[in-house]
């Protein structure tokens, strides 16, 4: 159809199993982000889209509109995001959050994008608040913190005000929609490197496709049991995205001398419990949680090297992960990771929390 969209045209087209163009998808999400769409229109659109199935072009259009309406942040995209889609239903501890702190302490600029819990009792924002991070920062304050510490947390609930227009509808319809996996693609800083865990296998081609469209570098991965992390409880599948294309890998953690864990070893609880686990890991405590943090921090460091040192892609992935796991372990054991958390807390607390 020609580009003169209206909600009746869009919804009818989706019902007829027609895909949207990037421009049409951008229009739809712009209507939602600006509050121009009614709840009935949003609900009808999300359900029709889910029944048809999303395409890469549609997700690109949605992402573009979301980023256009996000608060901008003056932080260099020469940075890394370690993030998961959530929704794996396991309720594990905050692996990507701990991994982000380790990666930053190892010298990699990290801009983590995250929100409240999706499928666990404690999401990234919940555990970071419990650890003492002030989340109520203005964009210029966030940039100041990043410049001082090499790490920042972009709280989706604060930097994407347009999400609020769809919040009630999403809660009322109670089924997964495109919003459930857009988060990792919508970091306002637009980092050049990402390590992204994906819980739902059918979402992987969409996320990989969007990174390809952006020309970004990423490791996208999924534990075979459904974890949105690189798993230490079994094999993981990895999609390595570079400007040269996509390479798929199968990872057995035993090839990295990681003892096999059970999912029960990785289960978290509320924010207070998960924050204690994080403090223990960053302080150097051994065990299954340390192992999975080392592995996922290594994935982040490998992803950043794809951007910062493109020739690294020629080295076998297993060797790169092994090298970066050693870096992550030394970062923790030297006290640098624990010190990085303390430095980060102090930098954010220099500003009024507004609470």
Q: Is residue 36 part of a domain?
A: yes
Residues 237, 147 share a domain: yes
**Average pLDDT for 192-212:** 96
Does residue 53 have a known ligand-binding role?
Answer: no
Q: Are residues 258 and 198 in the same domain?
A: yes
pLDDT tens digits along 255-299: 999 999 999 999 999 999 999 999 999 999 999 999 999 999 999
Q: Are 88 and 194 in a shared domain?
A: yes
Consult the annotation and say whether 124 binds a ligand: yes
- By C-alpha distance, which of 275, 266, 180 is closest to 231? 266
Q: Is 50 inside a domain boundary?
A: yes
Question: How much is the pLDDT for 331?
Answer: 99
Is residue 170 included in any domain, yes or no? no
**What mean pLDDT comes out for the span 297-309?**
98
Last residue of a domain, one of 69, 96, 120: 69
Residue 177: inside a domain, yes or no?
no
Q: Is 263 a domain residue?
A: yes
The residues that bridge with 218 in the sheet, in sequence order, are 194, 241
Q: Is 96 annotated as a binding residue?
A: yes
Assign 355 a pLDDT band (cuts: 50, 70, 90): low
142 shares its domain with 200 = yes
Same domain, 108 and 249: yes
Overall domain count for the chain: 2
Mean pLDDT, range 241-261, rounded to an integer: 96
Q: Are residues 321 and 220 in the same domain?
A: yes
Q: Flag whether 180 is in a domain.
A: no
Assign residue 278 the CATH number of its domain.
Answer: 3.40.1030.10
225 appears as a binding residue in the annotation = no
Q: Which domain CATH number covers 30?
A: 1.20.970.10
Please indicate, yes or no, if residue 355 is contained in any of the structural domains.
no
Determine, yes or no, domain membership for 100.
yes
Residues 102 and 218 in one domain: yes
Rg of the chain (C-alpha set): 20
Residue 228 annotated as binding?
Answer: yes
Per-residue pLDDT, 1: 46
| 88 assigned to a ligand binding site | yes
Are residues 59 and 105 both part of a single domain? no
Q: Is 157 annotated as a binding residue?
A: no
Whether residue 237 is found in the same domain as residue 108? yes
221 versus 177: which is more confidently predicted? 221
- Tell me whether residue 140 is annotated as binding: no
Q: CA 197, 291, 148 angle in degrees (round to 5)?
A: 70
Query: What is the token pair recorded at 46?
Result: 């999300």
∠ CA 24-26-32, rounded to 5° = 110
Residue 3 has pLDDT above 90, yes or no: no
Same domain flag for 85 and 226? yes
Full residue range of the structural domain in which residue 330 is found: 80-156+189-347
pTM of the model: 0.94
Q: Could you tell me the pLDDT band of residue 157, with boundaries at 50, 70 and 90?
A: confident
What does the mean pLDDT of the chain come to?
Answer: 95
Least reliable range by pLDDT among 55-59, 87-91, 150-154: 87-91
Find out whether 94 is annotated in a ligand binding site: yes
């Amino acid at each position: 159809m020609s580009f003169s969209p209206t909600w009746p045209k869009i919804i009818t087209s989706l019902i007829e199993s027609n895909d949207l163009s990037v421009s049409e998808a951008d229009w739809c999400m712009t209507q939602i982000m600006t509050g121009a769409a009614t709840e009935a229109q949003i609900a009808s659109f999300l359900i029709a889209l889910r029944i048809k199935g999303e395409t890469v072009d549609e997700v690109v259009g949605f992402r573009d509109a979301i980023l256009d309406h996000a608060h901008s942040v003056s932080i260099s995209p020469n940075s890394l995001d370690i993030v998961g889609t959530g929704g794996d239903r396991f309720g594990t501890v905050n692996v990507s959050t701990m991994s982000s702190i380790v990666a930053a302490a190892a010298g990699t600029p990290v801009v983590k994008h995250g929100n409240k819990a999706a499928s666990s009792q404690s999401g990234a924002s919940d555990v970071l608040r419990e650890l003492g991070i002030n989340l109520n920062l203005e964009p210029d304050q966030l940039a100041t913190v990043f410049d001082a510490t090499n790490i920042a947390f972009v709280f989706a609930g604060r930097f994407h005000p347009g999400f609020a227009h769809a919040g009630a509808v999403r809660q009322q319809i109670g089924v997964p929609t495109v919003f459930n996996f857009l988060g990792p693609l919508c970091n306002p800083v637009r980092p050049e490197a990402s390590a992204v865990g994906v819980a739902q296998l059918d979402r992987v081609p969409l996320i990989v496709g969007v990174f390809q469209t952006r020309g970004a570098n990423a490791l996208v991965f999924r534990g075979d049991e459904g974890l949105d992390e690189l798993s230490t409880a079994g094999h993981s599948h990895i999609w390595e995205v570079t400007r040269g294309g996509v390479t798929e890998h199968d990872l057995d953690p035993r090839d990295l001398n990681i003892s096999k864990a059970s999912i029960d070893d990785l289960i978290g609880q509320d924010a207070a419990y998960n924050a204690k686990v994080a403090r223990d890991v960053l302080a150097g405590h051994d065990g299954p949680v340390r192992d999975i943090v080392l592995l996922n921090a290594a994935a982040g460091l490998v992803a950043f090297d794809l951007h910062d040192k493109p020739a690294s892609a020629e080295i076998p992935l297993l060797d790169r992960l092994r090298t970066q796991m050693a870096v992550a372990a030394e970062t923790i054991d030297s006290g640098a990771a624990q010190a990085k958390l303390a430095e980060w807390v102090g930098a954010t607390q220099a500003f009024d929390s507004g609470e």
